[in-house]
Amino acid sequence: MSAKSGSIAFGPGGSQIDWAVAQAAKEGSTACGDGYLLRRAGSRLLVALADGVGSGAEARDAASACLQELAAGSVRGIADLFEAAHGRLQGSRGAALAVALIDPDQAAVEWAALGDVEGVICPLQPGSRESNVIMQKGGTLGVHFPGVFCQTRNFPPQHVLVFASDGISRRFRDALPRMQVPPREWVPSCLGSYGKAHDDRTLLAVAHRRRGA
Protein backbone atom coordinates (compact mmCIF):
# COMPACT_ATOMS: atom_id res chain seq x y z
CA MET A 1 0.00 0.00 0.00
CA SER A 2 1.14 3.56 -0.70
CA ALA A 3 -0.23 6.58 1.15
CA LYS A 4 0.13 10.35 0.77
CA SER A 5 -1.42 13.37 2.48
CA GLY A 6 -1.27 17.16 2.60
CA SER A 7 -3.13 20.43 3.24
CA ILE A 8 -4.22 23.26 0.94
CA ALA A 9 -5.12 26.73 2.26
CA PHE A 10 -7.86 28.79 0.60
CA GLY A 11 -8.77 32.45 0.63
CA PRO A 12 -9.22 35.09 3.31
CA GLY A 13 -11.98 33.10 4.99
CA GLY A 14 -9.45 30.77 6.57
CA SER A 15 -10.59 27.58 4.87
CA GLN A 16 -8.25 24.62 4.63
CA ILE A 17 -8.57 21.32 2.80
CA ASP A 18 -6.76 18.39 4.43
CA TRP A 19 -6.43 15.45 2.04
CA ALA A 20 -5.13 11.91 2.11
CA VAL A 21 -5.03 9.00 -0.32
CA ALA A 22 -4.12 5.34 0.02
CA GLN A 23 -3.71 2.92 -2.89
CA ALA A 24 -2.79 -0.71 -3.48
CA ALA A 25 -2.51 -2.77 -6.65
CA LYS A 26 -4.26 -6.07 -7.19
CA GLU A 27 -2.46 -8.86 -5.38
CA GLY A 28 0.36 -10.12 -7.58
CA SER A 29 0.43 -7.00 -9.78
CA THR A 30 2.87 -4.10 -9.74
CA ALA A 31 0.61 -1.67 -11.65
CA CYS A 32 -2.39 -0.06 -9.97
CA GLY A 33 -5.21 0.67 -12.43
CA ASP A 34 -6.60 3.50 -10.26
CA GLY A 35 -5.43 7.11 -10.22
CA TYR A 36 -6.34 10.37 -8.51
CA LEU A 37 -5.96 14.11 -9.03
CA LEU A 38 -6.12 17.21 -6.85
CA ARG A 39 -5.92 20.43 -8.86
CA ARG A 40 -6.35 23.95 -7.60
CA ALA A 41 -8.53 26.01 -9.96
CA GLY A 42 -8.71 29.57 -8.66
CA SER A 43 -10.89 29.56 -5.56
CA ARG A 44 -11.94 25.94 -6.13
CA LEU A 45 -10.33 22.53 -5.79
CA LEU A 46 -10.84 19.84 -8.40
CA VAL A 47 -10.74 16.34 -6.92
CA ALA A 48 -10.94 13.25 -9.14
CA LEU A 49 -10.65 9.48 -8.86
CA ALA A 50 -10.30 7.38 -12.03
CA ASP A 51 -10.57 3.59 -12.16
CA GLY A 52 -9.27 2.01 -15.36
CA VAL A 53 -11.28 -0.99 -16.58
CA GLY A 54 -9.75 -4.25 -15.38
CA SER A 55 -6.29 -4.20 -13.86
CA GLY A 56 -2.64 -4.04 -14.82
CA ALA A 57 -0.75 -1.70 -17.12
CA GLU A 58 -3.61 -1.05 -19.59
CA ALA A 59 -5.97 -0.08 -16.77
CA ARG A 60 -3.27 2.19 -15.31
CA ASP A 61 -2.72 3.83 -18.69
CA ALA A 62 -6.44 4.52 -19.14
CA ALA A 63 -6.76 6.06 -15.68
CA SER A 64 -3.61 8.14 -16.24
CA ALA A 65 -4.84 9.46 -19.62
CA CYS A 66 -8.17 10.42 -18.06
CA LEU A 67 -6.51 12.38 -15.26
CA GLN A 68 -3.99 14.00 -17.60
CA GLU A 69 -6.91 15.44 -19.56
CA LEU A 70 -8.45 16.85 -16.38
CA ALA A 71 -5.10 18.25 -15.26
CA ALA A 72 -4.33 20.00 -18.55
CA GLY A 73 -7.73 21.23 -19.72
CA SER A 74 -9.66 24.29 -18.62
CA VAL A 75 -11.88 23.81 -15.58
CA ARG A 76 -15.42 24.69 -16.57
CA GLY A 77 -18.42 22.66 -15.50
CA ILE A 78 -18.46 19.06 -14.33
CA ALA A 79 -20.21 17.81 -17.48
CA ASP A 80 -17.54 19.43 -19.68
CA LEU A 81 -14.79 17.66 -17.74
CA PHE A 82 -16.42 14.28 -18.33
CA GLU A 83 -16.93 15.06 -22.03
CA ALA A 84 -13.24 15.93 -22.41
CA ALA A 85 -12.11 12.79 -20.58
CA HIS A 86 -14.42 10.62 -22.72
CA GLY A 87 -12.88 12.04 -25.88
CA ARG A 88 -9.36 11.45 -24.59
CA LEU A 89 -10.08 7.81 -23.71
CA GLN A 90 -11.67 6.68 -26.96
CA GLY A 91 -9.76 3.69 -28.28
CA SER A 92 -8.50 2.81 -24.80
CA ARG A 93 -9.76 0.23 -22.33
CA GLY A 94 -11.86 2.96 -20.71
CA ALA A 95 -12.37 4.10 -17.14
CA ALA A 96 -14.85 4.97 -14.42
CA LEU A 97 -14.55 8.47 -12.98
CA ALA A 98 -15.72 10.53 -10.01
CA VAL A 99 -15.13 14.31 -9.99
CA ALA A 100 -15.81 16.97 -7.36
CA LEU A 101 -15.36 20.73 -7.64
CA ILE A 102 -15.06 22.07 -4.11
CA ASP A 103 -15.62 25.77 -3.37
CA PRO A 104 -14.52 26.25 0.26
CA ASP A 105 -15.56 29.92 0.39
CA GLN A 106 -19.10 29.00 -0.68
CA ALA A 107 -19.07 25.85 1.49
CA ALA A 108 -20.32 23.85 -1.49
CA VAL A 109 -19.28 21.04 -3.80
CA GLU A 110 -20.48 20.05 -7.26
CA TRP A 111 -19.90 16.40 -8.06
CA ALA A 112 -20.74 13.53 -10.42
CA ALA A 113 -19.70 9.93 -11.09
CA LEU A 114 -19.75 7.60 -14.08
CA GLY A 115 -19.26 3.89 -13.51
CA ASP A 116 -18.53 1.97 -10.34
CA VAL A 117 -16.89 4.61 -8.14
CA GLU A 118 -18.28 5.70 -4.78
CA GLY A 119 -18.61 9.16 -3.27
CA VAL A 120 -19.84 10.13 0.21
CA ILE A 121 -19.96 13.38 2.21
CA CYS A 122 -20.45 13.31 5.97
CA PRO A 123 -19.96 15.62 8.97
CA LEU A 124 -17.02 15.13 11.33
CA GLN A 125 -19.28 14.87 14.35
CA PRO A 126 -19.32 12.01 16.87
CA GLY A 127 -22.56 10.07 16.76
CA SER A 128 -23.82 11.62 13.52
CA ARG A 129 -25.50 9.38 10.94
CA GLU A 130 -25.92 12.10 8.33
CA SER A 131 -24.39 11.48 4.90
CA ASN A 132 -24.86 12.33 1.23
CA VAL A 133 -24.04 9.71 -1.40
CA ILE A 134 -23.04 10.54 -4.96
CA MET A 135 -25.48 9.59 -7.72
CA GLN A 136 -23.63 7.24 -10.05
CA LYS A 137 -24.57 6.79 -13.69
CA GLY A 138 -23.73 3.65 -15.62
CA GLY A 139 -21.19 3.81 -18.41
CA THR A 140 -17.49 3.75 -19.22
CA LEU A 141 -15.53 6.77 -20.36
CA GLY A 142 -14.03 6.13 -23.79
CA VAL A 143 -16.55 3.38 -24.53
CA HIS A 144 -20.07 4.47 -23.58
CA PHE A 145 -20.86 7.91 -22.19
CA PRO A 146 -24.56 8.62 -21.55
CA GLY A 147 -23.85 11.81 -19.60
CA VAL A 148 -23.69 12.33 -15.85
CA PHE A 149 -25.88 13.52 -12.99
CA CYS A 150 -24.30 16.76 -11.75
CA GLN A 151 -25.38 17.74 -8.25
CA THR A 152 -24.46 20.47 -5.78
CA ARG A 153 -24.16 19.66 -2.09
CA ASN A 154 -23.30 21.67 1.01
CA PHE A 155 -19.69 21.20 2.13
CA PRO A 156 -19.15 23.39 5.19
CA PRO A 157 -16.21 23.16 7.60
CA GLN A 158 -16.03 19.98 9.66
CA HIS A 159 -17.21 17.84 6.75
CA VAL A 160 -15.30 15.24 4.75
CA LEU A 161 -15.72 13.97 1.18
CA VAL A 162 -14.59 10.43 0.39
CA PHE A 163 -14.07 8.82 -3.03
CA ALA A 164 -13.51 5.06 -3.33
CA SER A 165 -12.80 2.81 -6.30
CA ASP A 166 -14.64 -0.49 -6.63
CA GLY A 167 -11.71 -2.25 -5.00
CA ILE A 168 -13.07 -0.91 -1.71
CA SER A 169 -16.05 -2.73 -0.20
CA ARG A 170 -19.13 -0.54 0.22
CA ARG A 171 -19.03 -1.50 3.87
CA PHE A 172 -16.46 1.29 4.25
CA ARG A 173 -19.48 3.56 4.73
CA ASP A 174 -19.89 1.94 8.15
CA ALA A 175 -16.48 3.34 9.14
CA LEU A 176 -16.74 6.93 7.90
CA PRO A 177 -14.74 9.36 10.05
CA ARG A 178 -17.32 10.84 12.43
CA MET A 179 -14.88 12.63 14.69
CA GLN A 180 -11.66 14.62 14.53
CA VAL A 181 -9.59 11.89 12.94
CA PRO A 182 -7.13 13.33 10.39
CA PRO A 183 -7.58 11.91 6.87
CA ARG A 184 -3.95 10.76 6.89
CA GLU A 185 -4.80 8.38 9.75
CA TRP A 186 -8.28 7.27 8.70
CA VAL A 187 -7.65 6.55 5.00
CA PRO A 188 -4.91 3.87 5.21
CA SER A 189 -6.67 2.19 8.12
CA CYS A 190 -9.95 2.04 6.21
CA LEU A 191 -8.28 0.72 3.05
CA GLY A 192 -6.60 -1.98 5.09
CA SER A 193 -9.96 -3.03 6.57
CA TYR A 194 -12.20 -2.78 3.50
CA GLY A 195 -9.88 -3.14 0.49
CA LYS A 196 -10.27 -6.20 -1.77
CA ALA A 197 -6.97 -8.00 -2.39
CA HIS A 198 -8.20 -9.31 -5.77
CA ASP A 199 -8.67 -5.79 -7.18
CA ASP A 200 -6.89 -2.45 -7.46
CA ARG A 201 -8.08 -0.22 -4.64
CA THR A 202 -7.94 3.48 -3.86
CA LEU A 203 -9.47 5.60 -1.11
CA LEU A 204 -9.28 9.40 -1.27
CA ALA A 205 -10.57 11.75 1.45
CA VAL A 206 -10.70 15.57 1.60
CA ALA A 207 -11.78 17.35 4.79
CA HIS A 208 -12.91 20.99 4.97
CA ARG A 209 -11.55 22.73 8.05
CA ARG A 210 -10.98 26.22 9.40
CA ARG A 211 -7.30 27.03 9.75
CA GLY A 212 -6.30 26.95 13.36
CA ALA A 213 -9.43 25.03 14.39
Per-residue confidence band for 1, with pLDDT thresholds at 50, 70 and 90: confident
Q: What is the pLDDT of residues 73-99, one digit of tens each?
A: 777 789 999 999 999 999 999 999 999
Beta bridge partners of 205: 20, 162
CB 95 within 8 A of CB 140: yes
Mean pLDDT of the chain: 91
pLDDT at 100 over 90: yes
Nearest to 89 by CA among 71, 109, 67: 67
pLDDT attached to residue 94: 94
Domain 2-210 in this protein, CATH class: alpha beta
Q: What Cα–Cα distance (Å) separates residue 137 from each residue in 49, 51, 87, 102, 173?
A: 15, 14, 18, 20, 19
What residue ranges do the domains of the chain occupy?
Answer: 2-210
The span from the CA of 109 to the CA of 162, in Å, is 12
The model's pLDDT over 7-36, given as tens digits with 9 standing for 90+, comes to 999 877 688 999 999 999 999 888 999 999
Task: Calculate what percentage of the chain has a pLDDT beyond 90.
Answer: 72
pLDDT band at 213 (very low <50, low <70, confident <90, very high): low
User: Helix-strand-coil percent breakdown of the chain, rounded to 5?
Assistant: 25, 40, 35
The pLDDT of residue 14: 83
pTM: 0.93
